Structures are given as structure tokens and as C-alpha cells.
Structure 1
Amino acid sequence: MKRQLGRAGAVTAALGVLAAGTPAFADDPAGLHWSPLSISAAGNCTFPAKDVAATPWALQRVLLDQLWQGGRSTGKDVLVAVIDTGVDDRNPQLQGKVLDGGTLLADKSVNPPQPVQGGARTDPVGHGTKVAGIIAASHRDGVGFVGLAPDARILTIRQNDDAGNGDVDTLAKAVNSAVAKGAQVINISQDVRAAGNSGDFGDGGGLRRAVEAAEAANVVVVAASGNDGQEGATYPAAYPSVLAVGASDRNNERAAFSEYGDFVKVAAPGVDMLSTVPAGGQCVDNGTSFAAPYVAGVAALLRGEHKDWSARQIRARIEQTAQRIQRGPDKYLGWGVVDPVKAVTDTDPPAADPVPDPAVELAGAPIVAQPLGLGETQADRDRRTAAYVLGTGVLLVAALFGGSVVLRDLRRRRAG
């Protein structure tokens, strides 16, 4: 039985508010839904939008010259699949870099369901276009926003829409299709919570097999953790071979809406995220949906620079170099907030898994007792003593001389 794909949160005022956990079929309580798009400045965004000249905060913290290493690591020749609502390549920052990977949507409001018209390079919702921009938007004069891997290409697979017409089966098919079409990184800004306490979502069904096949094909799969703000695994993020991404805020703390749990591998900026929208311009939105492509962009940079690394090694590098205040991972931010520059410039050999940081040794060197001294030698003391004696003698002579003069004057006055 297919699991219906619903949404939580709100996309725009025009689309209306969709309740969390759209009901699925009666015999299958699990509901697949978008990492919810929280209400933000994008709530009133219309397409096209205006160009924004200011550099967004998520890029202000990144030294782009170091990130791109003089053009050596820009995502060139890397194909990133965006399994989403489509990608509108009419936006100038996405023109010439979007490949149509096909449409898997069917309109289920009619019986039998009918294929949704339009290719994957159209995006009536705007969600997929924002995701693609965070990964690979090109530089444009007068615009402060740019993708983390600006020379990467996007393979768009249109698999969902604002009506929840996507499902787990089509998501699995989209992953398989992305691998078959040569994607090296896959971004999935969707999530599903397992039914009951199974913890395995369908006991290793088609979706799990799809992401495991991607891992076997050396493809890095990045997925959003979800926006319910609760603790608990979501899928495909919680599968072992997937890099699960939560959202962080400007203070490198977990965003209040970000799903958390031991399955979260890293976090990335997901609050007030500026990105491309259909037909042109940029808008702001919130969600783990936009934290995941931030990490997918870093993965594209690493794949472009290290073609011989495995998908597992790329995941481990991103996790190991993340910013954290604790030695190892926690359930809120995973291994920490992704550090794009450190990830691509770190010179350590690639590892299969991240390791906790070494413990900090607080004990210092032992203190050796020293005899108390005044900082002078015996010769210094002899010279000081001689000076005292000489000074005392001079004062004594002066006193005697002064006294004799006083006595002489006194006698003269009496004689006179």
C-alpha cells in the first residue's frame, strides 16, 4: 500500500495552511510529508521576485575565496539531483545548469490518477527552486546570494507538489532514477515518520533499498530531518547511509522547529534562508528543507575535489569538520554545524567515520618550589652595604662639621 505524501506548516498564504500529518490510508498510519516550510518573509513572496543585493547571513560567515580555493573546488562537473517540486530554470542564477530528470507526479484527485502535465523544469510551488539555488545558484552582479557549489549542475526530478501527490514509492523511484542518470549527490528535502515503534520504516522497503543502492553506487544522499520540532527518527534521513541534516540558527543552536534525535548527523543554517525562486529573484524561507541543500552543496564541493573518495568518506569529512562545543555528537545538532571552509580545506586523510575530539588536558606542569630571594647576588649585597657605610660616614662628618661651625659662631657672639 502506498504511503501518501502530505505536508506540515505553510508554504505561502496563497497555498493555504496544510495540517501536519495529512491522513494516509486507514491500514497504514505513516504519513510522508515535506520538511515543513515555516511561515517567513517568503509567505508573501510572488514569482518573480526582486533581486536582493545584500549577502544573506548564512553566506556572511563563509569566506568564499577560501571555500572555492581559487576555482579549484566549485562543484564543476558534479551533478546534484534535487528530488522535489521541480526546478524553474528561468531564474537567471539557474539558467544553463538544470537538467530535466523527469516527472513522477500523478494527479490523485481524479480516478484513475492522471500524469501531471509539465516537465521537471517547472516549479509551481517554488520549493525545489529554492533548494536548487542554495546548492548551485551562479554568481550574478548586483545579487548578494550565490550557491555553495556555483559550478555544479542540477538534475531535477519532479516528484512532489503542494497537494501531497508524491508518496514513498515515487520517492524511491526518484532515488533510483537519479542514480541511473549519473547523479553524484542527491538532496531530499522531504521526510516520513515511521509507523508505531518499528524504527525501520516498512522493514527495509523500497525506499531503504533505494538509498542503500545509491550508497553502493558511491552517491552521497543528503536528507532533511523534518520540521515538527520533536524528537524521533524520520526517513529517509534516519537510514544509516543518509546524511541527516537538522536546522541551526544564527547562534549555531538548533532551530526550534528542527526535528532532533540520535539519527541527526549534522546541522546547517535553516532560518531566514535566502534563495532563488521561479522566474527570477530571491525570497526568504525557513526549514530543514533549506538546511539540507546547504550540506549537499558542501558535498558537491568535496566530490568535485576528491573524485576518488567514497560517499561514506565524504559524509565523514563533513561530520568531522563541523563546529561543535562538545567532543562528539549530540541529538540536537549531531556532530555540529557544518563548516564549509574547514570541510574542503582540511588536510587530514579521509576517514570512513568521524571520531570524537581528543579530551582536553587541564592539568599543567608541576610547580617546583624555589627558594625565596630578593633577586641580588652576594656581590650586590656587599656593594649595597658599602654604600650604606659610606653614606652614613658622610652624614656623620657633615653633622660634626655643622656642629663645630655652630659652636664657633656661638662663642664669637658671646665674646662680642
Structure 2
Amino acid sequence: DQDTRSSFSNYGNAIVWVAAPGEAIVTTYPFGTYAAGWGTSFSAPFVSGAAALLLNKQANTNESQAAAAVAHAMPVGPDMGNGRLDLVQALGSLGPADVPPTGSIDSPSGYVIIFAGQSVFFSGSGTDPDGTVTAYSWSFPGGNPGSSNVATPGNVTYSTPGIFVATLTVTDDAGLNDPSPKTRTVVVLPCALFCNSLQGL
């Protein structure tokens, strides 16, 4: 608790990235007891726990970003790398969390009722307040094609009667998905009477 190097600690900026408490660390012991421990085995959990906390705050934080954040430490003198672990500085260095994108199904504007064998025209778009939308993922159960990865798939044909839900999920340049994928319901009616009436024309 004095921010001084332990007598048994490694030191040297070439081998120490960041320091953490390692003396008289109270921890759990067998049979429901507690005891104090010394050494790097008690320092490492502080750093790994800090990395987990960073990931909890920003799910898209990668290993390099977490290491860079941890390096924002409290200086404690020469030969101790970036200094003593400081969660406040580490968390502050991350900046604001990335905001996920939002997708939109522009066509059709609502649910659709068609006869078997007919098509529905699909088009979509996406926005991202702090980046760009880089991927579109459509799913068309019961339709042909059954999926698409472009913003405007165009006509999708439904040959089998039933109720189907088309889904659009957009992804941004940080790898985040729209947390609320957009959907449209397609009701496909049997074609018998409709098709027969067309054949009689």
C-alpha cells in the first residue's frame, strides 16, 4: 500500500509491463478460511481482473486495446514499467463505448399477404452514429433466395403457403450488430383459386 517495489519482485522496464500489489494479499484458503499471500500469483489476478472489467465495459475491446489501457498506470519509480495498475486511468483511456448500428427494412413497409408463387420486393438500409454500416444479412425462410448479403436483395419468391418472417441484421465497422434485427411478416396463401382464375383469363 506504499507504492514501493517488493524486495522479491522482478524489475526492469524490459520485463515489467505494469506492476500490481503482491504483498500480504488476503485471499481465500481451503476449509472456508482466509490468509495473506505474497508473490506474482497474487499480483496477476489484479491485472487479469482489470482486463475483464475493461471487456465488460466495452465488449469490442481486443487484447491489444486492453493492454494499452492497462498501461495507463500510476508511476511508482524507475524499473517498474508503466507503473502500478490504476483502474480509473485504465477505464478512462478507453473513451466512449462504440454504439451499434441500426437497420431498417424500407420495402415492404409492413406485413405482406400474397399467393403462393408470387414475389415480394425487399430493400433495406442502415445507419451508424459513430462509424459505417459494412454488412447486411437477410434471412428469408420459405423464400427463394433464402438469404442475401446486400442492402437491396430485390424480389424474393414464396412458393409454399404459410406465414414467414424475413429478418435483416446490419453490422458496423467495429463488428457490432444491430441489437434489434428488423423483421417483416409474409403471409402466403394457397394459390389454387387465384391461379385457376388467372388461367381462365
Q: What TM-score comes out, normalization by structure 2 length?
A: 0.44
Higher strand share: 2
Higher helix share: 1
